Amino acid sequence: MPDLLADFRHEFRRHKELADKALIQLDEEAFFHRPGAVNSIAVIVKHLSGNLTSRWTDFLSSDGEKPNRNRDGEFVITDHDTRDLLLDAWERGWKALFDTLSSLEISDLEKSVTIRGESHTARQALLRGLTHVAYHVGQILFLVRWLRPEGTWLTIPPNQSREFPGQYRKS
């Protein structure tokens, strides 16, 4: 049987690496730029940081929606939200996730955890977390491509599919 936890670690790590490679392509202005009615990359980073920190801190023993989390505030950039502070929070959120993933055993996957008062198995919470991360990393990649069309392709570039066979586990 494949190691499901190793698969989760791989996928979460892959998404973080993609996002990190995208984020370094942005200057300060692009990082905070809000294109129309969509969130800026800074807001997405702030929100995902808050989500990761809340969900993965004390994962098996407390509600994933911590009382000190201000989710609505994650969608507002203030004068205190510098790029450096947001990226520090980003790293802390991912660290909470990876620390939790490294501490879990296969037997933990069927344990009950709570998110916003709703019961999940740990496995369901991991799937929920992974889809949430993938959604927002996809937004970041899209916005970086839109803001910096000359930037480095982080996925398979157009018309180069044949040059990238079997690369999934090498990322």
DSSP 23-56: HTT--HHHHH---TTSPPHHHHHHHHHHHHHHHH
- The CA distances from residue 46 to 32, 83, 145, in Å, are 11, 10, 20
3-state helix, strand, coil in the chain (%, to 5): 60, 5, 35
What tokens were used for 122? 């740990």
Does pTM top 0.85 for this prediction? yes
pLDDT, tens digit (0-9, with 9 covering 90-100), for 29-78 = 999 999 999 999 999 999 999 999 999 999 999 999 999 999 999 999 99
CA distance 27 to 8: 31
pLDDT, tens digit (0-9, with 9 covering 90-100), for 146-157 = 999 999 998 888
pLDDT, tens digit (0-9, with 9 covering 90-100), for 6-20 = 999 999 999 999 999
How many Å separate Cα 42 from the centre of its chain? 13
DSSP 80-130: T--HHHHHHHHHHHHHHHHHHHHH--GGGGGSEEEETTEEEEHHHHHHHHH
Contact (CB, 8 A) for 153 and 91: no
Domains in the chain, start-ordered, CATH in brackets? Answer: 4-155 (1.20.120.450)
